[in-house]
Structure 1
């Protein structure tokens, strides 16, 4: 659905206030989910459940928003960024506060995993969309600034939640950060819309269509009925009784016309869905795109669990005494910011192949994961956290890689499919690692499994994109003229 622009992008002015509001909204929404590894040991201690079951909480809060990204972006397109951000603030805050009263892990999976996860997905789609509306030439800079809000929130919340747990306990910590999340509603007030949401356009179009249909019906009726002299009495005269046998005919004709309209609408919807399914099938015929889906799924499956389990690994092996000032989760988030900025700058180099760069980050992250069981010091885990965090910054180049593989015309559809695969991997990764621990009573096999998955994904992507294979017409290079088009259409991709 295309929404007509009511104003041009400003590239400054009030747009920078919108950037600040979006940064802080993402900071408050993603702060706790990005540092959920700090809460994970506390939940294990409180609820006394298996690591696999408890890990569903952290996996769902990060995966649900990505899996539901098509629904979230549809909400933003139809209702606008400001109402969606307000609603997401209520969801994030309510889910966090409700988690403070969770009687068991199953309730926590719903309140923290699903409610907070959906709220994060909504605010992410809304902030990306409103930022792209306000910026054109400086859109990349603006998106880079607000996207670091998630990592900055994870870094500060990891340390802050440690202190709040020591002072007020786990329940008090969740209540406090839930109350802070209510400020998302205040920041939504700064997101003044430039584009009319599709919902209001459809309402206006429906009203106009209704008026036009009424006028057309009157015209058709007047054309069909012969003009009678005023002195001549007709059956339409209310003073003359109508024949009961003739009265059902107009109602019967209207029923047939309504049924015909409904059948035509159903046929249009069916043709639209069939066309969409054929388009998706065409995407998967592209060898490199299929390999990219597999690589993103395996990367998310293997590289996300360390954010949840590294702190528990350090404590269970006696490598960390108590709670450190800067937990490993904070180190992962800081290096993630550096990875997003560094990899985003590298992909702009003309001779750089974005597909190979993404595959290289997967290979590096896989090697770091395989080194976790071999590390016997807290300093070693800190180094590995830096490496994993930097390589996880490849999320910032996913849209560039997608453009290079399928072209700008199919970016929106392909990016949504990739986000679905990524969200599924994030959702399944932590429970799988937790089940490995429950089975073996050790994290070693779990991280070997994670490292092999990530390495396998990077290897598949490299092999599928080798020049010796026949090129697909959708495999386009990252040319400079496409970069400008990509900047114009990025709102559809990131949302």
Structure 2
């Protein structure tokens, strides 16, 4: 976000159109990835691979997009939310349609995991960035509504994909879902930019600089008009045409020198930009709260994402086939996640509510629910635990809110990209680790104890690092110590 082109957030008006468009964009992009647990048993049956290897497909589709968040955020900063969303529509649809013709799990890892994952990551970065630009006082509510799109998509797509597989097979299901995702381009049409993206600002500055040079360097007699003609303002094209042959030959002679100097300038400019980016990233990581948030979101995604992929298989492994209801466990978790995003987003806007402690509380409850999965003895128990974990996994609506409160709105895009990198890394390795635990022990018990312990550790870490006593200690250290001399004539202040 360029601070020079920033405008005041509207907190309404066209902002609500942006919210609806972003909601639908996340609905279309994340519907299938959020309900990948429905496709997971089908892929196990179709390719006869181990659960650890097949789990890479579901982990990469969510992890790759988050790991690439710094790149996705840079794309949104430079080109704007609308072009990025249009391009992501092509990637999401292409990834789903390619997956319909996958001959192996390895091909699925590329088509569904990487291509679809990157497309979804671009949508996520674009929708959150433009929503934060349009809202200030109601940012928590707006982000809660937007991120509910992923939950609504997961709820409806889980049931829809089950029915489509029954009627059209796995290939037909993926083709139909891929065709629906092309509507991302229609959603992008409503994303009117509030702030001009960096790429267009650079182009505008270059054009203005070119105009100044032409007006300064062109000979005066080239701009004279013949008697009897009406004077009119000359365009850039007209000015370029008036350059005579002598000027053109001079340009030709100096072209190689100019090209070389331009390359050197570009390298120096990009070097300074990259150096500034690295220094800013280092500053973020030196922030205690931000670093604690990065660690906690890594541990949260490491442990809390596997249930999205494995809950259906857990029910089958425990022999609860006769009790399975029409609504899958994935759908229950997804719809409760949507409710949680709305409720937690509204709570974040409450003045006396500390969003960091609220996020830490959601991790503690989620970790406890994960530890209870191995001791559950009925399908009803799994449904209740899925609902609890789904509700508190709605804390995704708090990440942008907390990041903005820690680093400020101007640094949101870069800081959020770093945060999502940690989250994506956890999502990417979590499901394969759980799958390998099952392949090793032929039971999910040890795997879910590991998952629950990781999430609990993340919640405790964030809670301890966010305690106000740390700020009091720092204030005590920074306070100057006043020493009085024996004759009271001089006072020495030592920082």
Question: For each residue in 1:168-226, what CA deviation from the matched residue of structure 2 results, as whole angstroms up to 9, or x when unmatched?
Answer: 2211211121122122223333334454443333333323333444555668xxxxxxx
Structure 2 unaligned spans of 5+: 220-244, 476-495
Quote the residue 1:307 is aligned against. 308
Tell me whether 1:455 sits opposite 2:456 in the alignment.
yes
What is the Cα deviation at residue 463 of structure 1? 2.7
Quote the residue 1:328 is aligned against. 329
Quote the residue 2:120 is aligned against. 120
Q: State the aligned residue count.
A: 450
2-side partners of 1:139 and 1:285: how far apart? 26
Q: How does 1:8-157 map to 2 (within 5 A)?
A: 12-132=12-132, 134-135=134-135, 138-157=138-157
2-side partners of 1:13 and 1:265: how far apart? 41
2-side partners of 1:216 and 1:187: how far apart? 45
Aligned partners of 1:18 and 1:190 also within 8 Å:
yes
1-side partners of 2:296 and 2:144: how far apart? 24
Quote the residue 1:165 is aligned against. 165
Quote the residue 1:369 is aligned against. 370
Aligned partners of 2:141 and 2:345 also within 8 Å:
no
Quote the residue 2:237 is aligned against. none
Aligned partners of 1:368 and 1:384 also within 8 Å:
yes
Cα pair distance change 1:181/1:402, threshold 3 Å: closer
What is the Cα deviation at residue 264 of structure 1? 4.5
1-side partners of 2:46 and 2:151: how far apart? 27
2-side partners of 1:289 and 1:80: how far apart? 26
Aligned partners of 1:162 and 1:323 also within 8 Å:
no
Q: How does 1:154-303 map to 2 (within 5 A)?
A: 154-213=154-213, 259=260, 262-303=263-304
What is the Cα deviation at residue 99 of structure 1? 0.8
Quote the residue 1:340 is aligned against. 341
Aligned partners of 1:363 and 1:454 also within 8 Å:
yes
Cα pair distance change 1:184/1:399, threshold 3 Å: closer
Cα pair distance change 1:471/1:407, threshold 3 Å: farther
Aligned partners of 2:86 and 2:184 also within 8 Å:
yes
Aligned partners of 2:73 and 2:413 also within 8 Å:
no
Aligned partners of 1:298 and 1:457 also within 8 Å:
yes
Aligned partners of 1:31 and 1:156 also within 8 Å:
yes
Aligned partners of 1:3 and 1:197 also within 8 Å:
no
TM-score for both structures, normalised by structure 2: 0.81
Cα pair distance change 1:156/1:287, threshold 3 Å: same
The alignment's C-alpha RMSD in Å is 3.2
Aligned partners of 2:357 and 2:463 also within 8 Å:
yes
1-side partners of 2:461 and 2:352: how far apart? 22
Greater shift, 111-120 or 286-295, is seen at 286-295
TM-score for both structures, normalised by structure 1: 0.81
What is the Cα deviation at residue 428 of structure 1? 1.1
Cα pair distance change 1:200/1:137, threshold 3 Å: same
Structure 1 unaligned spans of 5+: 220-237, 239-248, 475-495
2-side partners of 1:198 and 1:42: how far apart? 44
1-side partners of 2:434 and 2:410: how far apart? 38
Question: For each residue in 1:27-66, what CA deviation from the matched residue of structure 2 results, as whole angstroms up to 9, or x when unmatched?
Answer: 1211111111111111111111111111111111111221
2-side partners of 1:451 and 1:25: how far apart? 31
Quote the residue 2:414 is aligned against. 413
2-side partners of 1:80 and 1:437: how far apart? 44
Aligned partners of 1:319 and 1:376 also within 8 Å:
no
1-side partners of 2:252 and 2:85: how far apart? 47
Aligned partners of 2:84 and 2:122 also within 8 Å:
yes
Question: For each residue in 1:56-77, what CA deviation from the matched residue of structure 2 results, as whole angstroms up to 9, or x when unmatched?
Answer: 1111111122122222233233
